[in-house]
């Protein structure tokens, strides 16, 4: 069964450029991973804040687990530490795995 990873980010508009740079790096990477079926992104800017939503669809739980491992490994190679990045740019994240309703 497909696994759908949905991330919702909230951050100040001043963090937009570094955030979008990181999103591009991650999206370019996940598109190369076996089991990736597609993704979508959405943005809303309001009152000096940005809400950004990503939806990535994976073939199954095994594909999603493999992707998490590969992304984490690549972040380590790049010296990218997610909690530090989020704190530096005042980014809040809400993450969940969903299943499509029939």
For the chain, the structural domain boundaries read 3-97
**Residue pLDDT tens, the chain, 102 long:** 899 999 999 999 999 999 999 999 999 999 999 999 999 999 999 999 999 999 999 999 999 999 999 999 999 999 999 999 999 999 999 999 998 888
Closest CA to 38 of 5, 82, 9: 5
Two tokens at 72?
């984490």
Q: Taking the domain 3-97, which CATH number applies?
A: 3.30.70.100
Question: What's the pTM?
Answer: 0.90
Measure the CA–CA gap between 57 and 4, rounded to whole angstroms. Answer: 5
């Amino acid at each position: 069964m497909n696994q759908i990873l949905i991330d919702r980010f909230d951050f100040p508009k001043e963090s937009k450029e570094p955030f979008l740079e990181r999103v591009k790096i991650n999206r370019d990477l996940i598109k190369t991973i076996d089991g990736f079926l597609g993704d979508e992104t959405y943005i809303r800017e309001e009152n000096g804040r940005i809400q950004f939503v990503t939806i990535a669809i994976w073939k199954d739980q095994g594909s999603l687990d493999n992707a998490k491992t590969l992304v984490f490994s690549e972040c380590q190679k790049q010296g990218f530490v997610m909690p530090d990045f989020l704190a530096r740019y005042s980014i809040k994240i809400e993450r969940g795995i969903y299943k499509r309703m029939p």
